[in-house]
Structure 1
Amino acid sequence: MKKLLYATLALVGLALPVQAETVSIALSGTEDIKKNGEYVFAKTFSDHLNANGVKTVIHPSNSVGKEKERFDQTAQGLVHVNFADAALLFKLAPMVKAIYLPFLYNGNRHFDEVVEKSNMISRINDDLGVHGIRLAAFPFRGGQAGIFNTQHPITKFIDLSDIRVRAKDNLQLKIFESWGAKATIVDWSEVANALQTGVADGYVNPPAAATLFGHTDILKHFTPMNIGPSPRTVLLSEDWYASLDDDTRKIIDDGVQRGLAANRAWTENWIAFASDILREKGVKISPLEPGERDKFVEASKPLWPLIVGKENVAILMKAAL
């Protein structure tokens, strides 16, 4: 069966691990040390492994397949380390949705504290193991999310009432509507066109998003709101990880921690850098007025149990406090 799978992947042009002892690392973005936080993690991780006698190869920009394909290859052990969209795990481990709870986290450091104190990764891995996947870390792509829009500054809760916010799914649709905004589901590939035609007036994302995706010609306002972090996931092949000897496994674990530390340091620098770029591109940054964020928090709280369940909310709230 495995030979057939290897042959099939080769036919469709997907890269295979270079050799049995070489760790295959799959990215969804480019090898850009300045702009891609995932690559900052991946390079630091890879450098640590190579320095300790473990060979690696990094496959950039979906070169071994898109999200679903890379996920399947990781579960099969064809890819050893995969940087993936957390949404792929939602049905397998409901606790993963906790990373997107709006306004639960007061900042990136608070997010890391809640993940640690709630044993979030261990709880998630209890569900993922049977699927051949192990969650190792949550690398950030940028700072905490805020709202971009084409219409006017948003400094108060009520200012969203005439803004149509792009949602990626029904869950986000409910969240944005709870804030008093109009919302419409738009696939990310169609966002630029939706903004140009008025189908959507804006979206929720970290400050770097509009710059990275070339939307600053359309979006002219950004409100930093600390809605939540912008995490991805580092997934390991469970069978591969379990097969490692103790010394090699420690090298892998240490590499993950080094990659995470480098990613967090990059994130802090990138937040300021991205904000400067937005201003240079003519995007006005308008903070919320005092007390207004609390209104968003209170509007969002009733949705938390719908997202992750009451039991998980209780665990997270205990960790958050």
Structure 2
Amino acid sequence: MRKLIATMALAGAMTAAMMSAARAEKDIVFAHVFAANSLEQETAEVFAKKVAEFSKGELKVTVFPASQLGGWNQIATQQRSGAVHVTIISTSALGSFSPLATVDVWPFIFETREQFDKAYASEDGKAFFKAIEAESGYRVLAPTYKGFRNVYLRHDADDLKGQKIRVPGLPIVLRSFEAWGASPTPMDMAEIYTAMQQGVVDGIEIEAQTALSSGMGDVTKTVLMTKHMMPNYAFIFYGAWLDELPEAERVALEQASAEASKYFADKIAIAEAQALEAFKPKGANIKEVDLNAMKSQVSGLDKEFPDQYGWVKRLQAAAGMN
């Protein structure tokens, strides 16, 4: 009997150890489209460390940068199946799942970072992200400022007229660039450098630090300071998957998102300025443009996209702009 009890105790201990090991090895897959030398990758690594800390080692995050698991559409699909659990990207990337998410790319929605922060921290800001999840199923956590978007051209020019510009394939973005006289061309992030190098496109619109980490410094002759968009970055999960987790694990992921977002926010202002300066010694001209003219040219978007415009006005009001 003693031998049987001892055997049962040993088996129980081994089972408990195996269960503990299984918990410790529970893997969270983090995939994103940004370069391995980018601030986004640094932020993903901070997220991984914080998840391990807040979960007491029960969760392990493996990060796959630079579209290793596919472009955004592939990542989003894998999130629905559970093959990928988290990514970092602009809310507007969810535009194919939720038209409201494209509010993020409304031209000149905010003028300053302070307005951006105030709007998304407000009750209307929180309601905005809940509305996106209701339409798409994706949960947006810890949105943060990621810089103005400007235009990077492979040749000399003073404006966007006649330029073939790589853009996200979102209706608001397409109509905005058409209004500015450009030919907007949707294209995956992973294809940008080759497209610029070979002249498939004349330029891209993107944030300075992302442009630099994507190699645009080698193929850019002109930076047009359009400051046409101020999208956010956020940690994006599939809401149903997140809700199925034990509460402690879900809270660990939420806390890690907030901490990593703060890390990015603390770094971004310096990174944005440094990235723009880095284009100069590579031979690029930094040019100002007529922002008032650009704003006037897209003044009719409110009639084309009334649902999104309603949220634009709510967020601007929350930012103290109205």
Q: Which TM bucket (shorter chain)?
A: 0.7 to 0.9
Structure 2 partner of 1:36: 38
**Preserved contact between residue 146 and residue 226 of structure 1 (Cα < 8 Å):** yes
The number of residues matched between the two structures is 293
**Preserved contact between residue 177 and residue 184 of structure 2 (Cα < 8 Å):** no
**Preserved contact between residue 124 and residue 318 of structure 2 (Cα < 8 Å):** no
Structure 2 partner of 1:270: 271
**Preserved contact between residue 219 and residue 283 of structure 1 (Cα < 8 Å):** yes
Q: CA deviation at 1:213?
A: 3.0
Which secondary structure does the structure 2 equivalent of 1:311 belong to? helix
Paired AA for residue 185 in structure 1: T
| Bigger radius of gyration | 2
Q: CA deviation at 1:274?
A: 0.8
Paired AA for residue 306 in structure 1: E
Paired AA for residue 165 in structure 2: V
Of the candidates 99, 107, 113, which is equivalent to residue 104 of structure 2?
99
Paired AA for residue 187 in structure 1: M
Residues 109-155 of structure 1: CA distance to partner in whole angstroms, max 9, x if unpaired? 43232222263344333452576532213356x5311122244353x
**Higher strand content, 1 or 2:** 2
Which secondary structure does the structure 2 equivalent of 1:138 belong to? strand
Which secondary structure does the structure 2 equivalent of 1:105 belong to? coil
CA, structure 1 residues 132+100, in 2 after alignment: closer, same or farther (shift >3 Å)? closer
Which secondary structure does the structure 1 equivalent of 2:217 belong to? coil
Structure 1 partner of 2:255: 254
Structure 2 partner of 1:212: 213
For structure 1, which runs of at least 5 residues remain unmatched after alignment? Answer: 1-17
Structure 1 partner of 2:15: none
Q: Distance in 2 between matches of 1:173 and 1:92?
A: 17
Residues 77-133 of structure 1: CA distance to partner in whole angstroms, max 9, x if unpaired? 443323356455224322211111111111344323222226334433345257653
Structure 2 partner of 1:182: 182
CA, structure 1 residues 45+117, in 2 after alignment: closer, same or farther (shift >3 Å)? same
Q: Distance in 2 between matches of 1:279 and 1:135?
A: 36
Q: CA deviation at 1:174?
A: 2.0
Structure 1 partner of 2:61: 57
Of the candidates 81, 84, 88, which is equivalent to residue 83 of structure 1?
88
Which secondary structure does the structure 2 equivalent of 1:24 belong to? strand
Structure 2 partner of 1:47: 49
Which secondary structure does the structure 2 equivalent of 1:216 belong to? helix
Q: CA deviation at 1:58?
A: 1.7
Structure 1 partner of 2:11: none
For structure 2, which runs of at least 5 residues remain unmatched after alignment? Answer: 1-20
Paired AA for residue 262 in structure 1: Y
Structure 1 partner of 2:30: 26
Q: So what's the TM-score if we normalise by structure 1?
A: 0.76
Paired AA for residue 183 in structure 2: A
Structure 2 partner of 1:71: 76
Q: Distance in 2 between matches of 1:68 and 1:50?
A: 28
Residues 2-39 of structure 1: CA distance to partner in whole angstroms, max 9, x if unpaired? xxxxxxxxxxxxxxxx955625131224684xx42322
Structure 2 partner of 1:314: 313
CA, structure 1 residues 190+111, in 2 after alignment: closer, same or farther (shift >3 Å)? same
Q: Distance in 2 between matches of 1:67 and 1:241?
A: 19
Which secondary structure does the structure 1 equivalent of 2:230 belong to? coil
**Preserved contact between residue 206 and residue 230 of structure 1 (Cα < 8 Å):** no
Residues 201-250 of structure 1: CA distance to partner in whole angstroms, max 9, x if unpaired? 32322223443333334421112232223544422232343244554443
Paired AA for residue 103 in structure 1: F
Q: So what's the TM-score if we normalise by structure 2?
A: 0.75
Q: Distance in 2 between matches of 1:163 and 1:65?
A: 28
Q: Distance in 2 between matches of 1:249 and 1:173?
A: 37
Structure 2 partner of 1:201: 202
Q: CA deviation at 1:263?
A: 0.8
Paired AA for residue 63 in structure 2: H
- Sequence identity, in percent? 17
CA, structure 1 residues 31+138, in 2 after alignment: closer, same or farther (shift >3 Å)? same
